[in-house]
Amino acid sequence: MFAVIETGGKQYKVKSGDEVLVERFDVGKNKEVKLDKVLLLSGDSHIEVGRPYVKGAYCEAELIAEVKGPKVISFKYIRREKSATKIGHRQKYLKLKIKNIHKGA
């Protein structure tokens, strides 16, 4: 059984036991996360598509760590102007382990 979930404006295909890197969001002090934006559920021979989400379906996930992505460098240079700007960025992610996928009503 797998599900397609939406978080951070992106979609992820997940199964029980998967570890997923998602964009960081506020989880507070909880180690347990409930992802309720399920777009698609697929069972043994049954596929359920949401409009836009599957009613009552959600995924239980456990927060493993907060990690940083790779460094991305933006370098702007204007010739003959003695102008150069270098800016770096590292995106923050949450590493989640999918524990369970619950079907809708």
DSSP string for residues in 60-84: EEEEEEEEE---EEEEEEETTTTEE
Helix, strand or coil, per DSSP, at residue 51: coil
The domain limits of the chain are 2-102
Q: Which residue positions in the chain have pLDDT lower than 70?
A: 105
For residue 48, the model assigns a pLDDT of 92
For the entire predicted model, the pTM comes to 0.83
**Model confidence pLDDT, tens digit, residues 24-48:** 999 988 899 999 999 999 988 889 9
DSSP annotation of 53 reads: S
